[in-house]
Structure 1
Amino acid sequence: MKVTKYFEATRSRPDRARIRDKWIERVVESPEREVVQQDGRIRRWAPVPEANNRYLRVILLPDRETVHNAFFDRRYKP
């Protein structure tokens, strides 16, 4: 999985450290929803059954493969 330096830095935060790579990869490969931002970055969401079906948002760079950010999105409504 390709990641940015920003993503590596945020992984050390306690709320982000528990997000597993396999969950991120699952969202990247099979999102429930995708939105392209004005800056070209891609937002993808999918529920994570192992985390009580909370929705994980993954932000990709415009190349559609480099992960820039990943977090559980409390405000996302399916």
Structure 2
Amino acid sequence: MHTHLKTYHPYVSPFDPCKPMVEKTYSTPPHLYIGFQPPNLPQFSPMEALRTGTLWKAFYDPWYSPYEKGNKGVPS
């Protein structure tokens, strides 16, 4: 299983006047890891599908605001 959150470590200049960000996080969409839509994928109920924006659970990618605290791994 692939994770949707990726991290990388940017270059930190010794002359940068700001506090360095030593690790940055970004999200990749789930459709990058599925080459084609296989048959019999698990589905959300109709109400859950409207709330999540997709019918298939494999294509669901929750988004968390970087400005909210406690947002599952995304730096605030």
Q: Rg: which structure is higher?
A: 2
TM-score, normalization: structure 1? 0.27
TM-score, normalization: structure 2? 0.27
Higher helix share: 1
Query: 1 or 2 for the larger relative contact order (CA 8 Å, sep ≥6)?
Result: 1
Higher strand share: 1
